[in-house]
Amino acid sequence: MSQLAEFLATNQNKNVEELKELLRIPSISAQSEHKEDVQTAASWIADKLKNIGMEHVEVIQTEGHPIIYADWLHQENAPTVLVYGHYDVQPVDPVHLWETPPFEPTIRDEKIFARGATDDKGQLFLHIKAVESLLKSEGKLPVNVKFCIEGEEEIGSPHLPAYLTDNKEKLSCDVVVISDSDMWDKGVPAITYSLRGLCALEVSLHTANTDLHSGSYGGGVQNANHLLVQLLSSLHDTNGKVNVAHFYDDVVELTEFEKEQMKALGLDEEKVKESLGLTDLTGGEKDYSYAERISSRPTLEINGMWGGFQGEGTKTVIPNEAHAKITCRLVNNQQPKKIQELIKKHLEEFAPKGCTIKVSLQDTGNPFLTPIDSPMIQKAAEAYQNVYGKSPVYKREGGSIPIVSDFNQALNVPVVLMGFGLPGENLHAPNEHFHLENFNKGILTICSFFELIKK
């Protein structure tokens, strides 16, 4: 890799200057006044891909913001990597809290400050730079590479899933690599190998045909709030387990290795308590550690509930309706739609006498898991080791990024989440930034990964 190393050393400043160009484009996907800016960012990326030598570059218009495709497929016997990233960014409010303007990239303390610096322009651009560096220093790539880049990640990727299922052939590959996540700590890389899935429901409960006066009817008729409390209290048992039949049937338990990994990470519960102002972390299942519960166990949360009078003072009303919003975080191999049905069935079965209930099924998102011992994960780990001198930690993320499992399911290949961000880089917040060390090491790590997986 000496030619490559030389090329990178020579071009470090130029790479950062180019990243600044991209960061200057206010491609906020959520705000219609920035629609043109999002297009500009897409064109900028497409031009860049052409300039570095990628082929079949396309800007695919959608009803929202465009998807960009490009490929380089000249290694017939080598595997194909598909790189996903996004060029859209979050809004910048509250602007007055930014130390330097969000779209005027500024370097301080070896960090580049700008909206999108780490999420995800910086992390996406390092892949483009890895490909450029390899092509320009060695004339070819060790593997085949496809890019699939979207401009709607921050608004929930409304058009990408359909694009994936409609273009399975075109996007076919051996591995999907995404850099849109965090390292564990400064100098300690991380591979996120699991994300939780999601399903959402709403339940509405009705009693009489109108709210009733608690003087005239109190003690005689059912109160929708009382019945909802009764119904909701049936959803968990006293050990914090979800009390819905068959809810846990498909849950894959942690392997011994995973448990060891999780323990080794040494999550500091005292620090968590302090930051949240809590005296204990006793939510969820009693039989599992906090670290397990927030990442590898499924949950059922009442995100909202309401019924009756919420105004100031007193209203002696017996409400005739009450509502609750419920979401679950799900883990492999739970199926969101199956879980929704189980919960619906439970709610209907446990509905107290004297009311009618209506359950509406809402969003779902699949959980995602690439086993730690899968070859692609192991090659990514080796690449980190080569560049950072340290094996990555393997972590499970409690949140959901539905697009990850969409790639997994549409293309039926492992997805490797190689994060180069650092915790505390203020994504979605003022003063977002990205450590330049990880921008540069990220380019090297991706180059190394490509080398390692070639056959």
Q: Binder to a copy of itself among 51, 55, 245, 283 (CB under 8 A)?
A: 283
Q: Binder to a copy of itself among 131, 141, 318, 444 (CB under 8 A)?
A: 318
In order of 121, 149, 158, 367, the CA distances from 68 in angstroms are 14, 5, 15, 26
Q: Binder to a copy of itself among 251, 302, 361, 429 (CB under 8 A)?
A: 302
Contacts of 152 (CB under 8 A, 6+ apart): 29, 62, 64, 65, 86, 88, 158, 159, 160
Only segment of 60-68, 253-261, 304-312, 404-412 that touches a copy of itself (CB under 8 A): 304-312
- Pick from 8, 447, 380, 436: nearest CA to 186: 436
Query: What is the per-residue burial (b if ≥16 Cβ within 10 Å, else e) of 12-46?
Result: eeebbebbbebbbbbbbbeeeebeebbbbbbebbb
Q: Is 266 in the site for a copy of itself (CB under 8 A)?
A: no
> Which residue lies nearer to a copy of itself by CB, 73 or 200?
200
Site for a copy of itself in 54-93 (CB under 8 A): none
Query: How big is the site for a copy of itself, counted in residues (CB under 8 A)?
Result: 75
> Which residue lies nearer to a copy of itself by CB, 15 or 222?
222
CB of 309 to a copy of itself, least distance (A): 4
Q: Is 421 in the site for a copy of itself (CB under 8 A)?
A: no
Q: Binder to a copy of itself among 101, 304, 375, 423 (CB under 8 A)?
A: 304
Residue 300 has which token pair?
Answer: 């059922």
Q: Is 290 in the site for a copy of itself (CB under 8 A)?
A: yes
> Which residue lies nearer to a copy of itself by CB, 135 or 429?
429
Q: Is 158 in the site for a copy of itself (CB under 8 A)?
A: no
Q: Is 94 in the site for a copy of itself (CB under 8 A)?
A: no
Query: What is the per-residue burial (b if ≥16 Cβ within 10 Å, else e) of 118-137?
Result: bbbbbbbbbbbbbbbbbbeb
> Which residue lies nearer to a copy of itself by CB, 29 or 448?
29
Contacts of 163 (CB under 8 A, 6+ apart): 60, 62, 67
CB of 121 to a copy of itself, least distance (A): 23
Residue 431 has which token pair?
Answer: 């003063």
Q: Binder to a copy of itself among 155, 188, 281, 429 (CB under 8 A)?
A: 281
Evaluate whether 95 touches 189 at the Cβ level (below 8 Å).
Answer: no
CA 61 to chain centre: 24
CA 281 – CA 290 distance, rounded (Å): 7
Q: Binder to a copy of itself among 50, 140, 309, 333 (CB under 8 A)?
A: 309
Site for a copy of itself in 183-212 (CB under 8 A): 196, 198, 200, 207-210, 212
Residue owning tokens 């609750």: 324
Please confirm whether the linkage preceding 431 is cis (ω < 30° from 0).
Answer: no
CB of 308 to a copy of itself, least distance (A): 4
Residue owning tokens 């879980």: 339
Residue 354 region by backbone torsions, left for phi larger than 0, else alpha for psi between -120 and 50, else beta: left
CB of 114 to a copy of itself, least distance (A): 24
In order of 196, 342, 354, the CA distances from 299 in angstroms are 10, 14, 29
CB of 214 to a copy of itself, least distance (A): 5
Site for a copy of itself in 366-405 (CB under 8 A): 397-400
Site for a copy of itself in 329-368 (CB under 8 A): 329, 353-354, 362-363
Q: Binder to a copy of itself among 219, 256, 270, 455 (CB under 8 A)?
A: 219
Only segment of 104-112, 173-181, 222-230, 421-429 that touches a copy of itself (CB under 8 A): 222-230
Q: Binder to a copy of itself among 73, 135, 155, 229 (CB under 8 A)?
A: 229
Q: Is 322 in the site for a copy of itself (CB under 8 A)?
A: yes
Q: Binder to a copy of itself among 139, 277, 389, 455 (CB under 8 A)?
A: 277
Only segment of 125-133, 168-176, 215-223, 440-448 that touches a copy of itself (CB under 8 A): 215-223
- Pick from 384, 394, 391: nearest CA to 442: 384
CB of 293 to a copy of itself, least distance (A): 4
Kindly tell me the burial class for residue 244, based on how many C-beta atoms sit within 10 Å of its own C-beta (0-12, 13-18, 19 or more). buried
In order of 74, 341, 399, the CA distances from 231 in angstroms are 61, 16, 27
